[in-house]
Copies of this chain bind each other. A is one copy, B any other.
Amino acid sequence: MSTDVDAVVATRGDALRDRLERVEQRLRAIAAEAAPPLDRLAGDTIAAGGKRLRPLLVLLAAGEDPGDDAGLIRAAVAVELVHSATLVHDDVLDAASLRRGRETVWAAAGRARATATGDYLFARAFAELVANARPDELRVLSDASSALAAGELLQREDAFDSGVSVARYLHRCELKTARLFEAACRLGALEAGAPVDALGGFGRRIGLAFQLLDDVLDVSGPVERTGKPRGTDLLDGTVTLPFILARERDPSLRDARPSTPQEAQAVCDRIAATGALDEARERAIAMVAEAKRELPYDDDALLLVADSVVERYS
């Protein structure tokens, strides 16, 4: 994604590069403000980084000349803090040792510290956005956060459930992923006075496509790209679109419940053999196309972000 960010930055130039750097600085400063050991744990979480796709969407949705960009930076920081908080809690619940190739807070510091780190990052997200003095922005962030918690739960409710429908799967992706992408775009638009609903709709669709393709990647690999073994979702019991579609095509997959990484990889191969991955990819690509149509104006940078969501997985 870093190449993609470079390409996006190239369309917008130094102002965007400068804003992204200020987002990083502020994220680091917020971690450093905490008392030990929270400063280190929050700092590690933030440093582990990832793509900063959500802050990028906040900045881009505000257009080229967002006016007072201090508020925009705060919105971008707040969205990334909510995202980071969710990841830390997810790793606790999944007892996940690695994320993005690094040891998770859960693995490094244990359950209690990781839960508290997530709570802290979450609280700081609201503290950051409060400074914008915009209740409409705070509502966007708190609604997205409620959705995240509901999605987090739904994923575990549906674990190992062979009856999960495509509609229910999409609803979960909506809660767990798309709503925060939507919130990112809405916040940028609100700061800049840009069309909020249209940009929000763009973000929502990009988020859905992002999650769908992430779920495809869990089945397709390769490991070198994902940094985790294929079939992790199958082992966790997370029922994703490729598996739902594959079960329709090959009913013998209904009873597949792998319990070792080897078995999971074998099920991945069987899912791939049904053609379900292609169908899931096509659905995601169609969503990205819809997202682009949703844009109220042509915007090279946002179009590029939309494409990069697809390209990461092609």
Contacts and interface: CB of A to CB of B under 8 A. Distances in A.
A167 interface: no
Nearest to A128: B142
A196 to B, nearest CB: 16
Contact of A156 (B116, B127, B142, B156): B116
B115 A93 contact: yes
Given A93-B111, A126-B138, A127-B139, A149 B119 contact: yes
Contact of A153 (B120, B132, B153): B120
Contacts of A153: 37-38, 112-113, 116-117, 120
Contacts of A120: 146, 149-150, 153
A134 B194 CA distance: 24
A121 to B, nearest CB: 8
Contact of A130 (B89, B123, B142): B142
A56 to B, nearest CB: 23
A126 B138 CA distance: 8
- State how many copies of this chain the complex holds: 2
Q: Which of A116, A127, A145 has most chain B Cβ within 10 Å? A: A116
A270 interface: no
B145 A126 contact: yes
A157 interface: yes
A29 B43 CA distance: 37
B142 A127 contact: yes
Interface in A221-243: none
A148 interface: yes
Interface string A64-90: 000000000000000000000000010
Interface of A: 34-35, 37-38, 89, 92-93, 111-113, 115-117, 119-120, 122-124, 126-127, 130-133, 135, 138-139, 141-143, 145-146, 148-150, 152-154, 156-157
Given A93-B116, A123-B146, A127-B145, 11 more contacts: A37-B157, A38-B149, A38-B150, A112-B152, A113-B156, A115-B152, A116-B149, A116-B153, A122-B123, A123-B145, A124-B146
The 10 closest A-B pairs by CB, nearest first: A123-B145, A119-B149, A116-B153, A127-B142, A120-B149, A133-B135, A123-B146, A126-B142, A112-B156, A130-B138
17 contacts: A35-B150, A38-B153, A89-B119, A112-B156, A116-B153, A119-B122, A119-B148, A119-B149, A119-B152, A120-B149, A122-B123, A123-B145, A124-B146, A130-B138, A131-B135, A132-B135, A138-B138
